[in-house]
Amino acid sequence: MTNINNKLKLGVAYHGNRMLHHVREDMQDIIKHNFNLVVHMFSHNDWDRHKNIMKEIVEITEGAGLEVWIDNWGLGGPPGDKSHFLSYFPDAHQVYSNGEVDPVRVCLNNKDFRRFTREWIDVVEFTGAKSIFWDEPHLAGRDLVDGKPSVWTCYCQTCRELFEEKYGRKMPDQMTEEIEKFRIDTIVSYFREVTAYSKSKGMYNAVCVMLGATHGINLDTLDQIAGMDTLDNIGSDPYWVSTDVNPYHYVYEATMKNLDICDRFKKDHNIWIQCFGNPRGREEEIIYAADAAYDAGARTILAWGYYGSDANDYRARNPELTWKTMGDAMYRLLERNRNSERDAYLSTVKR
């Protein structure tokens, strides 16, 4: 098991509020529910309208004794907001292989977007935050055939020129091994550049990925991302609610796979527990999922999101009970970890 920092980190995603008196109250509430880390969203809108407020939010959070990670929420499009960047650079859209323009996603090969991301990192540095959480990097794809998308991005002018430069022929509009590799190289190239920039500022880089052919993320992609010396932490989000699976087994197996990759590349890890969209009567599954992550060896376990994600349309159907259960789940892990550390300590003490 990879556990580089040798500390149990229990985190929760926080967004939907920028009013500081509520932030102060909510950070205390987060502590009472047994968390010690908060992942704060920092969108383009936050950059434009709340830059100084975000600095104060970081200060309030750290002042309460909580670790802070900053999420690049919606900078390039989903997950998160639609990308506001495209309002300024309308030629930067991802384009599908059938010529359709994706209305909300940015091409990761676009030079202006890479510059924009570096400028966003500068603003994160201004807030005083020390860690960046890169949230589910991906390219778009749909209409799977034999496990691969038949319609995919990115087929924009920039990507077609880069493909022709690399392979010496025009980019095909069908999925081929070269296209698959080009998509992988696009994601890897973007993250190599932006994490190198944040690392040059002394920042800690964590990433969460969704494996899947439609996202351009397969084991080859993950291996290349994991091999970057600028990346410190690799995670995944085995959300189970919309699937017909046993939550304990599903989260346990996914966590084991995640930790195997982290062991191989000597990286920290992060595992996410689903606390949004939970149907009424299924809140107790949060306990099983959190136990599964811990039993598999995870020691950085995070929940999406605060108060059952009550500020969003995708919230849990009973946010109050979901939040209470989240706190119970974290308490169980905290006590298990304390007992384990106590036993280890006592074994070294002469009686």
Q: Is residue 16 part of a domain?
A: yes
Q: Is residue 119 part of a domain?
A: yes
Residue 137: which pLDDT band, with cuts at 50, 70 and 90?
A: confident
Contacts of 181 (CB under 8 A, 6+ apart): none
Last residue of a domain, one of 229, 262, 294: 229
3-state class percentages of the chain: helix first, strand second, coil last, to nearest 5: 50, 20, 35
Give the pTM. 0.94
| 253 shares its domain with 164 | no
| 41 has a pLDDT exceeding 60 | yes
Average pLDDT over residues 126-151: 91
Average pLDDT over residues 23-40: 98
Q: Is residue 10 part of a domain?
A: yes
Strands 67-71 and 93-95, bridge-based pairing: unpaired
In this structure, how many other beta carbons lie within 10 angstroms of the beta carbon of residue 317? 14
* CATH assignment of the domain containing 350: 3.30.750
| 219 has a pLDDT exceeding 70 | no
Q: What is the pLDDT of residue 79?
A: 86
| 262 shares its domain with 128 | no
**Cβ proximity of 127 and 70 under 8 Å:** yes
Average pLDDT over residues 243-265: 94
| 261 shares its domain with 157 | no
Structure tokens that stand for 137 in this block: 């990097």
| 207 shares its domain with 306 | no
| 351 shares its domain with 204 | no
| 122 shares its domain with 1 | no
Q: What is the pLDDT of residue 1?
A: 42
Burial class (CB in 10 A: 0-12, 13-18, 19+), 342: exposed
- Tell me how many domains the chain contains: 2
CA distance 298 to 252: 9
Residue range(s) defining the domain that contains residue 172: 72-229
Last residue of a domain, one of 204, 229, 254: 229
**Cβ proximity of 57 and 23 under 8 Å:** yes
Q: Is residue 56 part of a domain?
A: no
Q: Is residue 117 part of a domain?
A: yes
CA distance 307 to 279: 14
Q: Is residue 26 part of a domain?
A: no
| 109 shares its domain with 255 | no
| 134 has a pLDDT exceeding 50 | yes
pLDDT in tens, 184-206: 899 989 999 999 999 999 999 99
Q: What is the pLDDT of residue 31?
A: 98
| 263 has a pLDDT exceeding 90 | yes
| 335 has a pLDDT exceeding 90 | yes
Looking at this protein, which amino acid is placed at residue 60?
I
Last residue of a domain, one of 209, 229, 249: 229
In this structure, how many other beta carbons lie within 10 angstroms of the beta carbon of residue 211? 14
CA distance 302 to 270: 7
Q: Is residue 33 part of a domain?
A: no
- List residues bridging with 142 in a β-sheet: 151
| 213 has a pLDDT exceeding 60 | no
Residue 138: which pLDDT band, with cuts at 50, 70 and 90?
A: confident
| 77 shares its domain with 225 | yes
Query: Rounded to the nearest 10 degrees, what angle do helices 285-296 and 247-265 cross at?
Result: 30
Structure tokens that stand for 49 in this block: 């309208």
| 148 has a pLDDT exceeding 90 | no
Average pLDDT over residues 78-95: 94
**Cβ proximity of 331 and 41 under 8 Å:** no
Q: What is the pLDDT of residue 225?
A: 83
Q: What is the DSSP string of 37-55?
A: EEEEE--HHHHHH-HHHHH
Matching residue, tokens 């809140």: 283
Burial of 223-239, coded b for 16+ CB within 10 Å and e otherwise, reads ebbbebebbbbbbbbbb
Q: What is the pLDDT of residue 260?
A: 92
**Which of these, 7, 79, 17, 42, lies nearest to 237 by C-alpha position?**
79
Q: What is the pLDDT of residue 349?
A: 83
| 308 shares its domain with 174 | no
| 186 shares its domain with 79 | yes
Residue 211: which pLDDT band, with cuts at 50, 70 and 90?
A: low
pLDDT > 70: percent of the chain = 95
| 342 has a pLDDT exceeding 80 | yes
| 330 shares its domain with 222 | no
* CATH assignment of the domain containing 117: 3.20.20.80
Dihedral angle sign, alpha carbons of residues 189, 190, 193, 196: negative
| 168 shares its domain with 225 | yes
Q: What is the pLDDT of residue 223?
A: 77
Distance of CA 145 to CAs 148, 151, 216, Å?
5, 10, 14
Q: What is the pLDDT of residue 317?
A: 98
Q: Is residue 115 part of a domain?
A: yes
- Mean of pLDDT over the chain: 93
